[in-house]
Amino acid sequence: MDCPRWLPLESNPEFVNCLGMKPTWQFGDVYGLDPELLSMVPRPVCAVLLLFPVTEKYEAFKQEEEEKLKGQQQVSPDIYFIKQTIGNACGTIGLIHAVANNQSHLEFESDSPLKKFIEQTVKMTPEERATFLEKDESIRVTHESSAQEGQSEAPSLDEKVNLHFIAFVNVGGQLYELDGRKPFPVVHGKTSEDTFLEDAVEVCKIFMARDPQEVRFTIIALSKDSY
């Protein structure tokens, strides 16, 4: 059976507001990885999204990593992780990962579809959450309207998009990479609220070094609004 497909989503920050998250925290681009440019990102940062190209090198690495890490990691039971079963939904999955693992920081409107989805799925397995998302019309409709409002012309449903969103979060003082295409979260070691952005960026640099010919990388930080 074919998996359901959504329109590909650009890094459209309005999307999160449409899902009922109050703008006390905002997504913003990280314009460079050197200390001076990182210092311009408002703090604190509670999540980082990385948009990167899925290449043959990356797919080979992903397979090796999965075999190496299977059963070797201690993953906090507090981590909210959802599998991706919907084509082109990685932007929404990344957003759910960023928000669901930072609920103590974030504020929501009373009718927020995102908050409702997280509350309804909190006790489910990652696979059950994925099935539940397939049936969640309010998130799908918001995703697709945001995809059509992106900065460039949205590709069609069937067009193969080789860019992928993943999220980095700090749960219990550990830096986690959350990717719905992977079978489990990946632990990248210790972090703290103060060093989280720099620690996440160090992992992003490894993604970039793996494909040095590629330029299609975007890093987005979820920061407390400084205004």
**Would you state the torsion angle of the CA atoms of residues 100, 222, 72, 183, taken in this order, to the nearest 10 degrees?**
60
- Any idea which residues carry the catalytic annotation? 90, 164
What CA–CA distance (Å, rounded) separates 187 from 152?
34
What CA–CA distance (Å, rounded) separates 126 from 106?
22
Q: Along the 227 residues of the chain, how does pLDDT read in single tens digits? A: 456 776 665 555 566 667 889 999 999 999 999 999 999 999 999 999 999 999 999 999 999 999 999 999 999 999 999 999 988 888 889 999 999 999 999 999 999 999 999 999 999 999 999 999 999 888 877 766 766 664 444 444 444 558 899 999 999 999 999 999 999 999 999 999 999 999 999 999 999 999 999 999 999 999 998 65
